[in-house]
Homo-oligomer: A and B are copies of this chain.
Amino acid sequence: MRFDEATATTPVEGSIGLTKANLRDGWSINGNANGGYLIAVAARAMVNHVGRPDPVTITAHFLAPGSPGPVTIQTRTVKEGRRFATATASMTNADGRQLLQVLGAFTDLTKASGPELVDAMPPDLPPVEDCDSLVDRQDFSPELFRQIEVRLHPEDSQFAVKPSGVARSRGWFRLPNDEPMDTLALVMATDALPPTVFNANLPLRWVPTVELTAHLRARPAPGWLRCEFRTRFVTGGFLEEDGLVWDSTDQLVAQSRQLALVPVG
């Protein structure tokens, strides 16, 4: 299923800011909807409500795991400015359980301009065909990786048998069948690679996200994205995962950070 279908939202007639959506099968890790996918669905509802096409900074708090099925998104406009609209949203499942609380600012990124200063490089990845797919792997193959195309750097892909020792996850990302990628697809890309800390020498099975903030800097040029995620601080039961996403023209298109829990044991 295409990303734009999987994240489609429908306004509820007669309401102010109430939207329906369906969390689709397959956009999940072991049955739980992927976090980036959840944010993309909420962001679609917010974009439509405020009438601005691009989130420029969006923060989501994860309150409960999401399963496939219907959800509602209640969006509220906080401020309609000249340049930005600021809005909140809450996503609730059919049982009335809130999954997500979101806060974001929306704009039209094609109108952005200013001086440029970039003090970093895209990750040095081997060609796509020399990187590793996560489909049909014996050791780690969540259903999500049938919906999106991810190719991991070979140094980072063997975490299940031989962690690299560096808390890092690098790889290529695109939507299948050359589906165009907008800034909502970029939000998805900021949470689509396996957790960085799977490559660290730590006794971790999963790292539930508390909060993710993504900054979207530009709409990506067509083609594969290059993604790099790093963790520098595992302390006090928490870790951060810092992400950079670059497009095929070497433009930084997204920067993200999430705070995740380190389950003990």
Contact = CB atoms under 8 A, between A and B. Distances in A.
Contacts of A210: 56-57, 84, 105
Copies of this chain assembled into the complex: 2
A78 to B, nearest CB: 5
A219 B57 CA distance: 27
Given A215-B259, A238-B114, A63 B88 contact: no
Contacts of A240: 215, 255
A254 B4 CA distance: 37
A46 to B, nearest CB: 13
B78 A101 contact: yes
A211 interface: yes
A233 B256 CA distance: 13
Nearest to A215: B259
Contact of A234 (B56, B57, B117, B218): B117
11 contacts: A114-B235, A115-B203, A117-B200, A117-B235, A119-B232, A119-B233, A120-B233, A215-B257, A217-B233, A235-B251, A235-B252
